Amino acid sequence: MRLTLTSIALAATCLAFAGPLLADSAEPKRPECIAPAAPGGGFDLTCKLAQSGMLDAKLLSKPMRVTYMPGGVGAVAYNAVVAQRPTDGNAIVAFSSGSLLNLAQGKFGRFDENAVRWLAAVGTSYGAIAVRSDSPYKTLNDLVKALQENPDKVVIGSGGTVGSQDWMQTALIARAAGIDPRKLRYVALEGGGEIATALLGGHIQVGSTDISDSMPHVQSGGMRLLAVFAEERMPEAAMANIPTAKEQGYDIVWPVVRGFYLGPKVSDAEYNWWKDAFDKMLASDDFAKLRDQRELFPFAMTGPELDTYVKKQVADYKLLAKEFGLIQ
């Protein structure tokens, strides 16, 4: 068969166009971020951060929608993705350190930390203890004193039941103060949005939450933070007056890493497309501004590095859960 100059040129043109098309073939056709809680909390914030970041960086041809799948502080979404949507490369799911703590205790049912493909971590917040702005508790020690006198009198709202991340924060405070954590009075809620609503509505007296969920309500004047579980005070002007638990005599630090995972059978091409997209997004100055606006701090990790981090965190949380008698 003879190849003419015209046919060679045509073939070269086709190859030139084939490269980008093949590279883009793994782009999700219906990009979705699943927030595994009710709107308004940390999972919602995490999804909307990725939604805005991907849009600003022009990494998606179509806008990413945010959907909500509350239940079990992440358990319902985790099980649904693993069992029902394992190959769905369109959907990323938000997770936090609290998700990993629940996995460490077997709270996600028959699936463990090896059941999904860990994709990207995009920032970190820190745990916090919140009260209404008119609360009689002005300091963390005021709250501890009230709990020591009558732990059943103070109603604490937390995301999840005994053993959850929010429970663990106050349990660590209680243990340091010589109080049996199991005597504390908890109301289990579905994420930071419900905690804020219950606290501002006067249904609970204290919210065990995190700083990123709380700052909009702090800045609007409805809420105060008695303590943030960080190594030192936050450098941002809006947070500079919030004391740490450490400076009030409680050596407790609780970072809340936020990120995403994919279903266990998502193809390598789809997984790598998302990883590359997050790598580009996380490296941009525009994303840093979006992250700062949402009161999150730098924590960028993707792919195998994140997978290693997640597995180590789960192992560490298992040891902590054993200390509190939550698992054998």
* Domain end position, chosen among 237, 255, 273: 255
Measure the CA–CA gap between 322 and 328, rounded to whole angstroms.
6
Residue percentage of the chain with pLDDT more than 90: 80
What count of other Cβ atoms lies within 10 Å of the Cβ of residue 314?
Answer: 19
> Considering the domain boundaries, does residue 201 fall inside one?
yes
Question: DSSP labels for 166-220?
Answer: HHHHHHHHHHHTT--GGGSEEEEESSHHHHHHHHHTTS-SEEEEEHHHHHHHHHT
> Considering the domain boundaries, does residue 306 fall inside one?
yes
> Considering the domain boundaries, does residue 63 fall inside one?
yes
CATH number for the domain that contains residue 284:
3.40.190.150
Measure the CA–CA gap between 311 and 309, rounded to whole angstroms.
6
Which tokens hold the place of 183? 């005597």
Do residues 114 and 189 both lie within one domain?
no
> Considering the domain boundaries, does residue 13 fall inside one?
no
Which tokens hold the place of 117? 């493909």
Do residues 197 and 116 both lie within one domain?
no
CATH number for the domain that contains residue 166:
3.40.190.10
Measure the CA–CA gap between 239 and 256, rounded to whole angstroms.
16
3-class secondary-structure state, position 265 = coil
Do residues 172 and 64 both lie within one domain?
no
Contact call for residues 313 and 96 (beta carbons, < 8 A): no
> Considering the domain boundaries, does residue 20 fall inside one?
no
Do residues 230 and 131 both lie within one domain?
yes
* Domain end position, chosen among 216, 234, 255: 255
Do residues 264 and 251 both lie within one domain?
no
pLDDT at 307: 98
* Domain end position, chosen among 255, 271, 288: 255
Do residues 131 and 196 both lie within one domain?
yes
Do residues 71 and 160 both lie within one domain?
no
Q: DSSP code of 246?
A: G
Contact call for residues 157 and 128 (beta carbons, < 8 A): no
How do residues 125-174 score in pLDDT, each as one tens digit?
999 999 999 999 999 999 999 999 998 899 999 988 889 999 999 999 99
Which tokens hold the place of 152? 């059943």
How do residues 27-51 score in pLDDT, each as one tens digit?
999 999 999 998 988 899 999 999 9
The total of structural domains in the chain comes to 2
Report the range out of 49-58, 163-172, 206-215 with the highest average pLDDT: 49-58
How do residues 220-265 score in pLDDT, each as one tens digit?
999 999 999 999 999 888 899 999 999 999 999 999 999 999 999 9
Do residues 207 and 273 both lie within one domain?
no
Do residues 142 and 226 both lie within one domain?
yes
Where b means 16+ CB within 10 Å and e means fewer, 172-181 reads: bbbeebebeb
Rg of the chain taking only CA atoms, in angstroms:
22
Do residues 131 and 250 both lie within one domain?
yes
Q: Considering the entire predicted model, what is its pTM? A: 0.83
Angle between helices 42-56 and 268-282 (to 10 degrees): 80
Do residues 142 and 204 both lie within one domain?
yes
At a CB cut-off of 8 Å and minimum separation 6, what does 124 contact?
255, 256, 257, 258, 296, 297, 298, 299
pLDDT at 24: 61
> Considering the domain boundaries, does residue 19 fall inside one?
no
Contact call for residues 242 and 154 (beta carbons, < 8 A): no
**Nearest residue to 71 via CA among 109, 32, 101:** 109
Do residues 197 and 250 both lie within one domain?
yes
More confident residue, 62 or 6: 62
At a CB cut-off of 8 Å and minimum separation 6, what does 166 contact?
98, 127, 158, 159, 160, 195, 208, 209
Domain containing 314: what range? 31-124+256-323
> Considering the domain boundaries, does residue 55 fall inside one?
yes
> Considering the domain boundaries, does residue 147 fall inside one?
yes
pLDDT at 4: 43
Measure the CA–CA gap between 310 and 306, rounded to whole angstroms.
6
pLDDT at 167: 93
